[in-house]
A and B are shown apart, each in its own frame.
Chain A
Amino acid sequence: MYLYDELDRTLVGERVAEFRGQVARRLSGELNEDEFRPLRLMNGVYLQLHAYMLRISIPYGTLSSAQLRMLAHVARRYDRGYGHFTTRQNIQYHWIKLEELPDAMADLASVGMHGMQTSGNVVRNITTDQWAGVAPDEIEDPRIWAEVIRQHVTLHPEFSFMPRKFKIAVGTSRHDRAALRIHDMALQMHRNGAGETGFEVMVGGGLGRTAFIAKTIKPFLHKRDVLSYVEAVLRTYNQFGRRDNIYKARIKILVHELGAEAFAKEVEAEWQSIKDGPLALDEEVVADIASRFRYPAYARLQNSPAELAEAPGGDRRFEAWIGNSVAKHKVPGYAIVTLSLKPEGGTPGDVTAGQMDAIADVADRYSFGEIRVGHEQNLALPHVAQRDLPAVWRALNAIGVAIPNVNLITDIIACPGLDYCSLANARSIPIAQEITRRFRNLDLARDLGRLHVNISGCINACGHHHVGHIGILGVEKNGEEFYQITLGGKADENATLGTLIGPAVPYAQVADLVEDIAAAYIELRERPDELFIDTVKRTGVEPFRERVYAAR
């Protein structure tokens, strides 16, 4: 956990007071909606189809049990009893009333939470691996760097009105679990020949109307230079990013139009003039921030304790869950437990207030009071003693979040779509729900193996459809919902954009098509353990197209 001090708390409190004043000016008519919009957008408040939506940032995906209980309270008191975890380590409430927003924010502020950096043309919530600090393949805890950057870009006087939003992700493991390469800027830690750690800097990734994988502009950046380099990138973008067309305003377009090399040169020139200035990071400053992260006092335990040998009541579901949702921890005798928020027929990422409270209790009892939020719209308990796994399973199973479908075809990433969002062209959630029903048979889902389905209800791609193994994009054709399907996308260290498999199909045919794709995979795979994504890579989409579209 990162512990806020008096200074952090003061700032969040001042933010609430400022927003209360802005809402009062809006309600009194002193501000019209046009003037209020950029102000509310700096606090995570959107106007959606039916109501205001409030997005709260969960920096680097780390939550305390007290914070999760507060999220439950906000869901109950100001919303309709649930919240929605997004693909960027945020939570959204979709039914907030404008006049109650300041009170909701004040309640959140009491546990150090806020909506800063969750909307508007600023640096958004800095995201990272949800297994930060506990992943066995990690070089260093990425959250320290995410926090260093988070502080620096919070209410930044120069970068609060950029051409468009700016998303940064930080990774320090060999495996990319934070979708780094689809970010505006990504920092990937490496160790150089001299044994020092530093960051590879990538820029210009992003999905939406024009999708790009980020390009490397600096192979190795020393840690002392992280802030000055971020500043140089932002300054270059702020001045030269396009402002004439909202669809061309992201940094990816600037990088694409200039070319990565020319962009890197601009940044380098800017960086050379500021790198030895006030932004150069002293070790003591980084050490001070690192010291505010608290780590659990782990017990000395052995891996695979006797308690795991026997499932509770011989329950097969427990074994399935252990095999699917429990991952290796860097400390012996501990495990990372993923909580699937993808029940059959459910909305991906939705959690009720009751579930939040119960998860907070489980975290207090079995995970040192800590919960993580991942970009796949699932939660995790990062510090569970393996001997406690049976008890944790019972507790999670009782509230419906011990579904052993993590990384399977029913573990779908989906945006809110036309059910909520004013930008959407088509529904996402009912498509996800139908797919979870079609693949309700766990043996079938397990046989299909790792398979990521991503659904977006419009070209803005909040459901990251371009990088889904199966990507589903809702479009509108003559007033009807149609869906384009892509195959072979991935968001990890080998990030790739998916390839369109054929013509768009109407709403009613999407789940059938996904079933046909799954059947085609079973037919096409070389061995049962050749993953879907590897089969697509080997064969290309053509054999899938032939099989799936033959009868259409």
Chain B
Amino acid sequence: MPLVKQGHIVEDRYIRVLDDAPIPDGVPVIVTAERFLADTAELAAREGPVGVLWPNNRKVAELEPWLGRVALVALTFPKFRDGRAYSQARLLRERYGFRGELRATGEVLRDQFLFLLRAGFDSLEVTKAADAEAFAAAVSTYSVFYQPSTDGRLAVRRRRLPPQAQATGREGEEAGQRHFEPR
């Protein structure tokens, strides 16, 4: 399954560790939420980045105290049309200020890419190779957006105002945070 990160197909450095398997040192690992919450101290002490695979039916608020020690959060889309993780992603980015890698896993198809980026994801485990290759085209489908979001693009209702009013609004402040530049 190709991994698209910052707009490029890259090799996945992370190793997924099943619940009871020993955690290797010195390499980036992704563990399940249960494992992570059970072994928080152990994981914090080890060398190497730690990622957590967070289910879409558990509040991300539970993860908040640990976000400073987590390099990656992987959220899941068990099905294309199960969109709970979009809300989780926005909460992680916008409310809890998570700056690490935010990865979409599960059924991740071309037609979700732009929504995912705008919700705050910056890496995608894409289901189909052809979709991963079409990434650049898929995310440049639109140039106009009606909502403010953390990808830094101004919402239409702000773009319509005179330039000085665009910058002074609350949305202007938030536009400082950029996770991904599509072009």
A residues neighboring B (CB under 8 Å): 5, 7-8, 10-11, 14-15, 17-18, 22, 30, 35, 38-39, 121, 148, 151-162, 235, 238-239, 243, 273, 276-280, 282, 284-285, 288-289
Contacts and interface: CB of A to CB of B under 8 A. Distances in A.
Interface in B26-42: none
Interface in B128-163: 130, 141-149, 155-161
Contacts of A148: 157
Contact of A157 (B80, B115, B157): B115
17 contacts: A7-B144, A8-B144, A10-B143, A14-B141, A35-B109, A153-B146, A155-B146, A157-B115, A159-B86, A238-B83, A238-B86, A239-B84, A239-B87, A277-B174, A279-B148, A285-B157, A288-B161
A154 B146 contact: yes
Interface in B151-183: 155-161, 165, 169-171, 174
Contacts, number: 108
Contact of B90 (A153, A158, A162, A289): A158
B170 A278 contact: yes
Given A277-B174, A285-B158, A14 B83 contact: no
B47 interface: no
Contacts of B90: 158, 235
A38 B84 contact: no
Contacts of B157: 148, 151, 285, 288-289
B103 interface: no
B155 to A, nearest CB: 8
Given A159-B86, A235-B87, 15 more contacts: A7-B159, A11-B144, A18-B141, A22-B111, A39-B111, A152-B147, A155-B142, A160-B86, A161-B80, A161-B81, A161-B86, A277-B170, A279-B148, A280-B170, A285-B161
Contacts of B142: 11, 14-15, 18, 155
A18 B130 CA distance: 16
A18 B134 CA distance: 13
Nearest to A17: B141
A152 B161 contact: no
A117 to B, nearest CB: 12
Contacts of A280: 170
A152 B148 CA distance: 9
B168 to A, nearest CB: 9
Contacts of B171: 278
A165 to B, nearest CB: 12
B133 to A, nearest CB: 12
A207 B155 CA distance: 34
